[in-house]
Structure 1
Amino acid sequence: MKTNVNDYVSPNSARAPAASGQDKKSVNLKQYLPSISTLGPLFALLAASIFFATQSDRFLTGQNFSLILQQVMVVGVIAIGQTLIILTAGIDLSCGMAMALGSVVMTKLCVDMGMNPYLAVLCGMAACVLIGYINGALVTMVKLPPFIVTLGTLNIAFAVTQLYSNAQTVTGVPDAMTFLGNTFQLGQTNITYGTVLMLGLYVLTWLFLRDTAPGRHIYAVGNNPEAARLTGIATNKVLVGVYMMAGLFYGIASLLSVSRMGVGDPQGGQTDNLDSITAVVLGGTSLFGGRGHILGTLIGVLIVGVFRNGLTLMGVSSVYQILVTGILVILAVATDQLTHKKG
């Protein structure tokens, strides 16, 4: 007997036995409350913010918070795609170099070939989606482990980026490509349009995962791919779709990178894969798949940004910033491992 596909829901979806009166109100309320896996990182973010506020008078300012968001917006958008892949029990090491390739493609087509900037942006995003499709096809059709596949495409994307750009930064980017790096004033604080876009993408992805059947399918495939297949879910199509969707987010991150830096940088993105994985893990998404929250990833991104910003304000060397980030990752993965074993 087939199980109803809607039995597979995200951990934060409303799925409970019929209730009435006060019980029904309680169930409806729980639907909108943060999950325990999200509350932990949130408390960590608040604790870090309180600590750095006591160490520097400049930390608790609107301009500094705006700066933190600007610094994390590229990795933040990459981390959305990384979250979708990790929810399916996969991983993507190629995301940073896919982003760099996308930024070089869109800037070179526009600057060197004279292509319309909006069309050039679409071409850069298409290059990132193509990498996502290749990753998904190799994982599903050839049955290669995601780690190996994306490690290979990381090197391929790096080589193609260097060859296509001649290892030279692309300058002279038109204003149409840097618009998202512009700011508007909110009170006394300047906020970039790219920051607003990043936050908007998190909200849209949250709604997609929580309220749509394809979003629930992602959780189902990550939780138990064989059980998902038996319920009628086309698991291979879901996986390919997830990798392509992640590629689209990398393409958007390419545009944000160009907007922030004002150039197409072939050397960019080399550590963004690790930074995005760090953010996803710190946000409470399980590396075993099927469990996690996209808003937790946003909190994880902010934790990394707050630690780096706070330590910089304290005058701490960047080496120690990397050390602290590494310790946080190990603690988060250890917690996930223990929780998985206990489950």
Structure 2
Amino acid sequence: MTTHVESQAAPAPAEEFLNRPATPAQRIHAVLHRQPALSPAIVLVLAAVMFSLVNERFYALQNLSLVAQQVAVVGALAVGQTVIILTAGIDLSIGAVMVLASLLMAKLVADHHWPGWLALLAGAAVATAAQAVNGLLVTRVRLPPFIVTLGTLSIFTALSLIYARGRTVSLQPGTFLTWSGETVSLGQLHLTYGVLLVIALYAVVGYALRHTAWGRHLYAVGDDAEAARLAGISVNRVLLSAYVVAGLTVAVAAWILIGRVGGGDPNSGLNANLQSITAVVIGGTSLFGGRGVVIGSLIGALIVQVFVNGLALAGMDPNYQVLAVGILVIAAVSVDQWIRSVKS
């Protein structure tokens, strides 16, 4: 009888396994899985501290203002790129769409004397339509996003050069489209309205991803499209909506770009496609979809610019700036792979 009672009190092997204390690696893994933006935030803080020790001018408000202004365009593009990558897709044409939209806006004002607000709406319509084409090719023709956007990258780049005839379109300061490049000063901190637009863009999209059914469906599709379909989610509709939303964010980026360069330039944003992907990956969003937060992409964009700015202040060769960004990308992808492989 005693033996029977003791056997009942003894923990089952499965229970004993579940009650084992987690290892430090498992605890770290669990935290990083719950908070995708934590690791890039730590990197940003450490980088800022390191570069401030190398050069005390790093923390000067004028320098921080410059960093914020330089990150605005890529930061805006990274919002749309994040939405697409969360679905396990990728967009190699997003920068080319931005340039095409900015040229259209600028030419409508400069050559055809359209009101600035109407030109902005026309540019937004073109950016949204271009991204909808990407989305339809992915959802209806069922082509891989990488191949689709690699092809449309060439198409939209060519359309920009043909439309602009290789020349820059300048706009007068003080117009509606150049408003995004005007500055607002808070003491010695000088921010452009474009920076404020980026902050507002992150707030709106971040709220939509976190607190709406659309956002939850987006994560579900990126995590497992087949499981999402079986749960009653219209996968193709969600995927198409991701590209359309990205098109709207591209329109905002185009407006910010016009304010920064003072018009439309077919040669601007040449590296914006890869820079937006770099910001998203460094910001903790998984290239495999289903995991990440949009604020992480802003942190990722800031990390890249902080390294570029900090290394320049340290007097380093510009080639080391490119090297540092490459190392950051590989490190970010490695962390993502570790988070996916380690079982908590």
Mapped partners of 2:47, 2:228: distance in 1:
40
> Is contact 1:49–1:306 with CA below 8 Å preserved after alignment?
yes
- Whether the aligned pair in 2 keeps the contact of 1:73 and 1:194 (CA below 8 Å) is yes
- Structure 1 pair 179–76 and aligned structure 2 pair: CA distance change class (3 A): same
Q: Secondary structure at the match of 2:56?
A: coil
Count of aligned positions: 311
Paired with 2:317 and 2:182, the residues of 1 have a C-alpha distance of 30
The answer to whether residue 200 in structure 2 is matched with residue 210 in structure 1 is no
Task: Kindly provide the amino acid, as one letter, of the partner of residue 185 in structure 1.
Answer: S
Task: Name the counterpart of 2:67.
Answer: 68
Q: Shift of the alpha carbon at 1:340?
A: 2.0
Q: What residue is the counterpart of 1:104 in the other structure?
A: 103
1:338 is aligned to 338
Tell me how far apart the structure 2 counterparts of residues 283 and 292 of structure 1 sit (CA, whole Å).
8
SS in 1 for 2:290: coil
Query: Does structure 2 conserve the Cα–Cα contact (< 8 Å) formed by 1:137 and 1:240?
Result: yes
Superposition map of 1:205-244 within 5 A? 205-244=205-244
Q: What secondary structure sits across from 2:249 in the alignment?
A: helix
Deviation at 1:331, TM superposition (A): 1.1
Quick one: which amino acid aligns to residue 296 of structure 2? Answer: G
Shift of 1:34: 10
Structure 1 distance, partners of 2:34, 2:317, is 35
Q: Residue 65 of structure 1: CA displacement?
A: 1.2
TM-score of the pair, normalised by structure 1: 0.88
Deviation of 1:185 (Å): 1.5
Larger radius of gyration: 2
1:117 counterpart = 2:103: no
Structure 1: distance between partners of 2:342 and 2:92? 28
- Rounded to whole Å, the distance in 1 between the matches of 2:172 and 2:208 is 34
Coordinate RMSD, CA, aligned: 1.4
Residue of structure 2 equivalent to 1:137: 136
User: 1:35 Cα deviation (Å)?
Assistant: 4.2
Amino acid at match of 1:191: L
Asked if structure 2 preserves the Cα contact closer than 8 Å seen for 1:101 and 1:157, the reply is yes
Q: Is the 8 A contact 1:88 1:289 kept in 2?
A: yes
Give 1:314 deviation, angstroms.
1.4
Q: Is the 8 A contact 1:107 1:173 kept in 2?
A: no
Give the CA deviation at 1:323. 0.9
Q: Partners of 1:103 and 1:38 in 2: how far apart?
A: 31
Q: Please, which runs of 5 or more residues in structure 1 have no aligned partner? A: 1-32
Secondary structure of the corresponding residue to residue 291 of structure 1: coil
User: Does the 8 Å contact 2:33/2:339 carry over to 1?
Assistant: no
CA contact 1:184–1:193 (8 Å) conserved in 2: yes
State the partner residue of 1:159. Answer: 158
Aligned equivalent of 2:52 = 53
Q: How far apart are the structure 2 equivalents of 1:144 and 1:194? A: 35
CA distance in 2, matches of 1:60, 1:226: 48
Could you give the per-residue CA deviations for residues 88-139 of structure 1, whole angstroms, max 9, x where no partner exists?
0000000111110011010011111111111111111111111110000000
Kept in 2, the 8 Å contact 1:183–1:192? The answer is: yes
Alignment of 1:304 onto 2:304: yes
Residues 124-171 of structure 1: CA deviation (Å, up to 9, x unaligned) = 111111111000000000110000000011000000000000010111
Q: Map of 1:1-343 to 2, 5 A cutoff?
A: 35-173=34-172, 175-343=175-343
Task: Indicate the SS of the match to 1:59.
Answer: helix
Report the equivalent of 2:15: none
Question: Deviation at 1:334?
Answer: 1.7
Give SS of 2:143's match: coil
Give the whole-Å Cα distance in 2 for the aligned partners of 1:34 and 1:258: 38
AA of the residue aligned to 1:218: L
1:268 CA drift (Å): 1.4
